[in-house]
Amino acid sequence: LSSQRNSSSLGDRFYKFKRGKKNNKVQGMYSRIILRFSICLSICSIVVHGCSKKSAAIEASRYETAAEVTETPTTFGQRKVHYETTTMLDLLLEGKYEDANETTEDDPWRKPKKKTATYVGLINQGATCYLNSALQMLFFIKSLTKSVFQVPLISDDQEKKKDDLGLAFQRIFYKLQFDKDAVSTKEFTKALGWGPSDHMEQQDAVEFLTVFIWKLEDILKNTKVEWDTSKLFEGKLEWYINCLKANCKKKSEETYITVSLDVKGKDNIYESFLYYTQPEQLVGENTYYFDEEYGRQAAEKGYRFKSFPPVLFLQLKRFDYDWDLDRVVKLGSLLEYPVELNLTQFLHSKEQVNDNETAYVLQSVLVYMGNGSAGHYVVYSNPACDGQWFRFDDSSVRQATLQEATEDNYGKGNGTTSSVWDKSTLAYMLVYIQKSGMGEMLKEITLDDIPAALQKRMEAEKVKPAIF
């Protein structure tokens, strides 16, 4: 027994030593040695990289040694945060260090990437893939980006105010348009009023996109581009109830931004639209109480589309609640979606309808990977709707194929999954652009589209990398 107690493994002693459970003085000495060693390696790295200021900034941020927050991906893409002292030596020992110029596609450290194939990504703050995905999809709607640039700057006495959301949108879109490296979202989330830990809370990307549109609508109020969000994103839907045996009807019109479509038991988008517009029969015990005059009546109720917007957001219902498991599960049902979509048959009134007004081209696919509790979002986008596809995974941007954006994310059956090991990828939202206005909506941004005052403001905000 004595021999066993005295022969504890080096790994066990290092584990206790590293966690600071004993020998604090030695631990402090160890930390100081590692700190100096890290600084020396940082300086050597700067020399190797040609002493460039940019490399110095990158290396200084990556070699931070004082109780920094690091992140590693779990098996389903959701980053897990570790609050502990991490040194460059730790990274070297664990095989996680890599050169700044040798980044890989699936980069666990989410370092800023060089500008790839014309576009740049957004840096993940911890669990902000949903925010990055929503911003990327909105940015590629160029007419919206141009409208945001037209919002007047805040007055001079508030010029230094950092939590102005309108300016935050202008700043993030400006950087996505002109920067050469992945863009930080810290100033943007600060303008949203986020607290210290909000960046670690995952949210639904579709809900967040909708909130963004509402906020942009408020930002554009009382400006010359006030109604641009309504013109771009709002369609009209009619809710109706018709009595089957009496001459009584009800109907009301409402606007919508997204259309939520069922995927379970449907083979493609057209079947989902048919199911959406199919009337529900209210008969038997489920008759409808109309009013005092008609009382309860057998009736049918449903929705019908009065118009479709220039930018059509289709949410696919990929999640359901399993009462047996008492948890949310992901639906892996197969659902095909075309690159070109025509919705003429689903308009209530087809008279004087231009086919181009109901013909759409697929621009973006929001993809979810994970289970019903947590996961990761990426975006496949065809920004100019010219068949050139790109994959946006936070700061990582690369060219992609049509198959990656479509077939690979259709789903593979009618089953559900709640496993934490689930790695399957599924389309969760589709963004279609109306053919009739595609040229104007996607016309590339130039400096002429940005007010001179805003250009001056954005250039003045650029900060040179620090030298140490």
Active site amino acids: 129, 376
Dihedral over Cα of 303, 407, 120, 126: its sign: positive
Q: What is the DSSP secondary-structure string of 74-118?
A: -TTS-EEEEES---HHHHHHHT----TT---SS-TT-PPPBPBTT
Dihedral over Cα of 17, 18, 24, 25: its sign: positive
Q: Are 442 and 383 in contact (CB under 8 A)?
A: yes
Which residues are CB-neighbours of 426 under 8 A, at least 6 positions away? 316, 318, 330, 332, 367, 368, 369, 409, 411
* CA pair distance 368, 7, nearest whole angstrom: 48
Which residues are CB-neighbours of 177 under 8 A, at least 6 positions away? 139, 145, 445
Indicate the residue type of 39: I
In the numeric block, the tokens 């607290």 are attached to 195
CA distances in angstroms from 283 to 52, 300, 319, listed in the order given? 76, 8, 30
